[in-house]
Amino acid sequence: MGVRNQKLSKVGKKVLFIGDGGEPAALAECLVDDDMRVIPHVHPLSLSLGVLGRHLGYFRLALFAVRHRKQFDGILIWQQFVALYYCLLRTLIPGARSTPIILYYIIYKKSSNKLVNWAKHQVMRAMVNSRHMAVVYFMSRSDYLYEETDPSKRKLLVYCPFNSDYIERNSALIGTVGQFYFSGGASNRNYSQIRQLAELMPDSQFSVAGLPAVHSVFKPCPPNVKLHIDVYGDAFEDLVLRSRAVIIPLADPMVTSGQMVVLAAMQAGKAVFITRNDFIDDWVGRDRAAGFLYEYESLEQLTHILRTITDAELAASGERARKFFLEHNDEKTIYRSFAEQLRIVLMNGEGSPPLSAKNV
C-alpha cells in the first residue's frame, strides 16, 4: 500500500503508517473522531528473505518515508531498523521540516563482536534520542537502551498484538496435548538446550522450527528431534497446535523475545516453558501467568519439570493459557495507545494517560 497516487486532503493532520507490519485501518478507526488521516505504506518482510533481504526491505521503506516526509505531519514507524535507516538517511537528505516520529518498538540485542556492538549501540542510542523521535515504545524496562533513552520519549508497552485465524479455524486441536514438545523462533534462542534436553529425555519427542543455521546446533541430530527450516505463518502455528507444550530457551534473558510464539501458544491452549528472564513482569506479569507460563533457571530444572508433569496438568495449564488469551488479547489496545500519543504529539492535546503504555 502506498501514497504516490493518492490525493491528500489539505485539511487536518496526515500520519504516515510505515513498516513491515501492523494494521493501519485499526489506527484509523481509533482516530475516526479526530482531525487526522492515516496513510498506510506497509510491506511485510518474511524471515525467508534472510537478513540481507529483510534489511534491504527496511532500507526501502525508510527511503520512502524520508522522500515523502514533507507530506505528513507525523510518521508512525513499525520496525526499529526502518527507523534507524530513516534517521541515517535523513542526515543525508536534509529538509527544513522536522516531522515527529512514533516508533514501535525497540528491542536492543547486543552483538558478540565488541567493535560492532559499540558502533551499533552508538547509532541506536542516537536514534532513540534524536530530536525527530517523539515517542519510543519499549517492551521491557530491562532493555539495554531503556535507561539511556530520554524519559520524556520512552513508553513501556505491555501488549503485543496477535490473533491467528488459522488457530481458530482448527479449534479441534486447541487445548490438546500432542506428541512432541515444540520450540521455534529465529531470534535470541539457545537451541543447544533443546538438543541437550532431547539427549536427556530420549523417550520424548521434540520439534524445532528455525533458520538453516540451526542445523549446525543439531549435528548430528538426535533421533527424537525433528527440524523444520524456514517455517512461517500457518505451518508454524500448526506445529504449535499439534504440540504437547512450547519451550522457549533464551540466549540472553535481558533481551525481550518470544512474545509472538507465547501468544500463539496461549491462543492454541498450550503451556509454555521459558528461560527465567527480566521482561515477563513488564509484559504479562508473573502472578497472572503463573498457571500456564513456567520459567526455569537451568536445564536440569526444566528436565525435572517435563519428566514429572502429567498430561492432565498440561491440559489444565493449556486451558488457563487459552482463557487468559481470550480475556486479555484486545488487538485494539495498542492502536488506542498510538492514537493517544498522536493526539498529544500532533494536536498538543492534554488527553488521558495511554491505555497500554506508561511513561516511566
Taking residues 189-208, report their average pLDDT.
Answer: 97
CATH 1.25.10 fits 13-161+331-358, yes or no: no
Which has the minimum average pLDDT: 57-71, 159-173, 242-256, 309-323?
159-173
In one letter, which amino acid is 232?
Y
State the pLDDT confidence band at 4, using cuts at 50, 70 and 90.
very low
Domain boundaries 165-328, corresponding CATH code: 3.40.50.2000
Q: What percent of the chain shows pLDDT beyond 70?
A: 92
The mean of the pLDDT values for the chain is 89
State the pLDDT at residue 7: 40
Q: Taking a C-beta distance cutoff of 8 angstroms, is the pair 18, 39 a contact? A: no
Q: What is the pLDDT of residues 265-312, one digit of tens each?
A: 999 999 999 999 988 887 887 888 889 999 999 999 999 999 999 999
DSSP β-bridge partners for residue 229: 210
Nearest CA to 41 out of 66, 63, 24 is that of: 24
Looking at the chain, which residues constitute the CATH 3.40.50.2000 domain(s)? 165-328
Q: What is the pLDDT of residues 330-340, one digit of tens each?
A: 778 889 999 99
Taking residues 200-226, report their average pLDDT.
Answer: 96
Q: What is the pLDDT of residues 40-95, one digit of tens each?
A: 999 999 877 888 999 999 999 999 999 999 999 999 999 999 999 999 999 888 76
* Angstrom distance (rounded) from CA 211 to CA 275: 20
Q: Taking a C-beta distance cutoff of 8 angstroms, is the pair 1, 40 a contact? A: yes
Q: What percent of the chain shows pLDDT beyond 90?
A: 69
- Residue with the bigger pLDDT between 353 and 280: it is 280
Place of cell 526491505: 57
In this prediction the pTM is: 0.77
- Residue with the bigger pLDDT between 43 and 112: it is 43
**DSSP H helical ranges for the chain:** 24-30, 50-68, 80-92, 114-128, 165-169, 192-200, 214-217, 233-241, 259-267, 280-283, 286-289, 299-308, 311-328, 333-347
* Angstrom distance (rounded) from CA 262 to CA 137: 20
